[in-house]
């Protein structure tokens, strides 16, 4: 099997060695992707190999990413792999959320069950393996919180030095706390995500630090495993829709690439449609598709309480455009109120997620109301982060203190305020009826 880095730009397609430390095409500036040539095993053989590995206690086979390593064969030696048993996340049926979303049935693929609580772990295990293979000592990322938590954990576990850059005051404490605990050198910059990404790219080059944002093609390779595992759990039957939140659009790029590769290898027989949901105040991709124009216009001052997707200039938009188009998919945007209520409904299913993840259910509800998704459609929504990532948001919602970034109060349709009671059995019994 031969692997190389290839320019994603169809007019260029320049190729580079898989071990070159580049994040954009040196010829045209386009995005890069990992590309493989050589014989892949037949689909049936791959399916039974992956299934048989479920019996194994080998550390690679226990990983819900590396169990599928034939789909991203960029390493020639697996000793560089750092695994924390990422992936292996459940598909959960959620009847209450289905009803709320206007569907007969809805399943969640819950990436919050990952070791650091988000889907970033699927990609980070691959990114850190590549960093170690290249002999890099320091790794860096800018993050709205989850990438930094994940990078800090995997880098520290692998003996690398993690340096994270985060927008000052705009990430949840749960995520910041993880980065500190996992030992990352943490720089809070007084700028937004998009501005800091530009800064970090300059610093990475100047200081020889390996960049682990989703512009890194190896992160994208690892995130393909989310849809591969999803299809295996569904006995290789593709759903009608895969719904996911869109921020920097790396996950959309990864899902699309993974699905197209699975189709090409005969692992699935059709592509599900991708529905990318953005928050109203940070919706450049939705706007772009609505306008149907060629020029992508960033949102200069993105706003949303779903801080994970507070991104106005997503780097992976060209890849996301290709994937959404190839799958016959679409993009939708949802309001702060819609996200907040959808999130509480997911909570009442006993499942829970962080705010950005709830954009999926809010989007499904809007898309079924508009007739774009039909009630009987087979839909999988991806919950990207764990409920405990942002407890502050939850407490404010349930106690009627949540306000949108403009200051407008949000009304908790599913609020659940805790009651303060005296230490008196009679009064408590009366209260509980
Ligand atoms: N959901 C969560 C919980 C996220 O943390 C992110 C991105 C997304 C959705 C959007 O995914 O960027 O691939 O479109 N978080 C990044 C971070 C940007 O820094 O943690 P995307």
In the block, residue with structure tokens 């992508």: 296
Q: How far is the CA of 97 from the centre of ligand 1 (A)?
A: 22
Tell me which DSSP letter residue 113 carries.
G
- pLDDT band, very low/low/confident/very high, at 38 (cuts 50, 70, 90): confident
pLDDT digits (tens, 9 = 90+) for 388-397: 999 999 999 9
Q: How far is the CA of 309 from the centre of ligand 1 (A)?
A: 6
Predicted pLDDT at 30: 97
Q: Is the CB of 304 under 6 A from ligand 1?
A: no
Q: Is the CB of 385 under 6 A from ligand 1?
A: yes
Q: How far is the CA of 3 from the centre of ligand 1 (A)?
A: 27
- pLDDT band, very low/low/confident/very high, at 137 (cuts 50, 70, 90): very high
Q: What is the dihedral of CA 181, 183, 184, 185, to 10 degrees?
A: 110
State which ligand 1 atom lies nearest to the alpha carbon of 354: 3
In the block, residue with structure tokens 């719904």: 243
Please, where are the H alpha helices in 56-185? 59-62, 95-100, 120-133, 146-157, 173-181
- pLDDT band, very low/low/confident/very high, at 23 (cuts 50, 70, 90): very high
Residue 335 CB coordination number (10 Å): 16
Does the pLDDT value for residue 18 go beyond 90? yes
Does the pLDDT value for residue 173 go beyond 90? yes
Predicted pLDDT at 169: 85
123-to-128, 212, 251, 333 alpha-carbon distances in Å: 9, 9, 9, 25
Does the pLDDT value for residue 170 go beyond 90? no
pLDDT digits (tens, 9 = 90+) for 201-236: 999 999 999 999 999 999 999 999 999 999 999 999
Please, where are the H alpha helices in 182-249? 193-207, 217-233
State which ligand 1 atom lies nearest to the alpha carbon of 248: 12
- For the residues 30-37, what does the mean pLDDT come to? 97
Q: Is the CB of 271 under 6 A from ligand 1?
A: no
Q: How far is the CA of 406 from the centre of ligand 1 (A)?
A: 22
Residue 253 CB coordination number (10 Å): 30
State which ligand 1 atom lies nearest to the alpha carbon of 249: 14
pTM for the structure as a whole: 0.98
Secondary structure (3-state) at 34: strand
State which ligand 1 atom lies nearest to the alpha carbon of 246: 14
Q: Whose CA is nearest to atom 7 of ligand 1?
A: 308
Q: Is the CB of 214 under 6 A from ligand 1?
A: yes
Q: Whose CA is nearest to atom 9 of ligand 1?
A: 245
Q: Is the CB of 83 under 6 A from ligand 1?
A: no
Q: Residue 380 forms beta bridges with which residues?
A: 107, 242
Q: How far is the CA of 43 from the centre of ligand 1 (A)?
A: 31
pLDDT digits (tens, 9 = 90+) for 248-300: 999 999 999 999 999 999 999 999 999 999 999 999 999 999 999 889 999 99
Q: Is the CB of 223 under 6 A from ligand 1?
A: no
Burial environment of residue 10 by CB neighbours within 10 A (0 to 12, 13 to 18, 19 or more): exposed
Is the separation of the CB atoms in 203 and 140 below 8 Å? yes
């Amino acid at each position: 099997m031969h692997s190389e880095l290839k320019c994603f730009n169809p007019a260029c397609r320049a190729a580079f060695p898989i071990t070159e430390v580049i994040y954009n095409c040196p010829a045209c500036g386009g995005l890069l992707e990992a590309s493989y040539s050589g014989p892949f095993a037949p689909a049936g053989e791959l399916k039974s190999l992956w299934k048989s590995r479920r019996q194994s206690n080998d550390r690679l086979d226990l990983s819900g990413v590396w169990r599928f390593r034939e789909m991203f064969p960029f390493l020639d030696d697996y000793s560089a792999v750092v695994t924390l048993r990422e992936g292996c996340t459940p598909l959960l049926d959620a009847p209450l959320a289905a009803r709320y979303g206007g569907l007969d049935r809805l399943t969640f693929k819950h990436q919050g069950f990952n070791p650091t609580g988000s889907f970033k772990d699927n990609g980070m295990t691959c990114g850190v393996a590549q960093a170690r293979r290249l002999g890099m000592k320091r790794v860096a990322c800018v993050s709205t919180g989850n990438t930094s938590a994940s990078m800090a954990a995997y880098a520290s576990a692998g003996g690398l030095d993690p340096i994270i850059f985060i927008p000052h005051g705009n990430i949840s404490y749960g995520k910041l706390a993880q980065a500190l605990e996992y030992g990352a050198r943490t720089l809070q910059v007084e700028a937004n995500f998009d501005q800091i990404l530009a800064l970090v790219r300059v610093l990475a080059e100047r200081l020889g630090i390996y960049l682990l944002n989703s512009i890194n093609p190896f992160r994208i390779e690892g995130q393909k495993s989310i849809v591969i595992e999803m299809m295996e759990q569904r006995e290789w039957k593709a759903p009608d829709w895969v719904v996911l939140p869109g921020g920097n659009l790396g996950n959309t790029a990864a899902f699309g690439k993974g699905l197209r590769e699975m189709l090409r290898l005969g692992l699935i027989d059709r592509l599900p449609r991708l529905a990318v949901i953005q928050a109203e105040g940070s919706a450049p991709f939705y706007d772009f598709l609505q306008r149907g124009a060629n020029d992508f216009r960033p949102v200069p001052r993105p706003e949303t309480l779903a801080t994970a997707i507070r991104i106005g200039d997503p780097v992976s938009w060209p890849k996301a455009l290709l994937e959404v188009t190839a799958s016959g998919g679409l993009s939708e945007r949802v309001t702060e109120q819609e996200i907040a209520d959808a999130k509480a409904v997911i909570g009442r299913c006993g499942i829970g997620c962080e705010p950005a993840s709830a954009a999926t259910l809010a989007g499904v509800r809007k898309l079924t109301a508009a007739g774009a998704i039909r009630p009987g459609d087979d839909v999988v929504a991806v919950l990207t982060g764990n409920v405990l990532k942002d407890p502050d948001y939850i407490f404010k919602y349930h106690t009627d203190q949540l306000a949108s970034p403009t200051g407008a109060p949000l009304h908790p349709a599913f609020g659940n305020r805790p009651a303060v009671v005296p230490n008196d059995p009679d009064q408590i019994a009366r209260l509980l009826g």
